[in-house]
Amino acid sequence: MEDLGTFRIKFAYFHRAWDRESDSVQVLKSQGRRVLPHEFTLEMDGFIFCPECHTPISRRPKNKEKMTNGRNASFVHLPSYRHIGCNLRVNKGGGRRFETEEEAKKAIADEQLAIISAFIVERPEIKDVKKGNFDHSFIEDINGEVSDVPISRHTGESFKLPSKITTVSGLCRNFDDNYYKYFVFPGDTNARRLDSILVDVNRVNDICDIPKLYFGKVQSSVSGPWDHSIRMTKIFWNRSGDFLDFYFKQNNKDSKDHGIDDNCRGRIILMYGKVERNGLGLCLSNVGWGEFSLLPEKYKYLFEH
């Protein structure tokens, strides 16, 4: 039977000297090179590692770009490491819980877990005076408050853990590192991998009152000339049911702060909020200032099939 993780491993870490038994994961992530399946060469064999469980992996097939069935080459786990659990090897589960607060804090220190207690709602008053534009880096570096997080395996127990990310823009920075990282979003009771949290707008077919992290590709974006004008950003969407289209609606000033303007067609946008009715279509609107972001183009490959 085909490995259930086939095609799920978007990239591997390549590092000739890294040792799983003696070296830290941070060393692999900071010093290793991210390699896509089509970038693999035979010289890398034995030195590429899974982005979640960090065991050695391989490419199938090793010396061809296509499998016998015509599908593109992909990264796969090695049978010799089957005893090491990895959610990229099996169907995505319900998430991850922790035995102790110390275990959760270690996962945070090892950059395998992050807590988001809340996203910033109001536009902060911090500017880059030299550029005359809003500087996101100040906001992305602001730590949130310590939060009581109910991610213990023991019923009713919660852990006090630091929150480090307060904007979706912060998620998008180093997005490839974050893609297989575990996150606790506002209101969640367990930690989930970011790739399993993300919801493709093309899977949406009705309104939804539960806030989720959606992504889609911009088809067009137009607005009146004023800061308070509503910028209508249309998302490529497979028409579903009785609804005609899908939009992201936000005021022009905040949209432009995030790089969303008339020229962003084809970019991936991430939006955290509720899906509402918009005339004959659907939309996300009135989301907080820190609850949406354009994805840097260098990470677009993570959304390509």
Q: Enumerate the domain spans of the chain.
A: 12-81, 101-196, 198-303
pTM of whole model > 0.85?
A: no
Give the single-character DSSP code of 66. B
The correct CATH number of 198-303 out of 2.40.50.140, 3.40.50.12140, 2.40.420.20, 1.20.1260.10 is 2.40.50.140
Contacts of 281 (CB under 8 A, 6+ apart): 243, 244, 245, 246, 247
Q: What is the pLDDT along the chain (305 residues), one digit of tens a residue?
A: 333 344 578 999 999 999 999 998 889 988 999 999 999 999 999 999 999 899 999 998 888 887 777 778 889 999 899 888 888 876 555 688 899 999 999 999 888 899 998 999 988 776 554 544 555 555 555 566 788 888 998 877 899 998 888 899 999 999 998 999 999 999 888 899 999 999 999 999 999 999 999 999 999 999 999 999 999 999 999 987 789 999 999 999 999 999 999 999 999 999 999 999 999 999 999 899 999 999 999 999 999 86
In this structure, the chain runs to a length of 305
Contacts of 119 (CB under 8 A, 6+ apart): 166, 167, 168, 186, 272, 288, 290, 291
Would you give the end-to-end CA distance of the chain in angstroms? 21
CB 174 within 8 A of CB 208: no
Rounded to whole angstroms, how far apart are CA atoms 238 and 219? 12
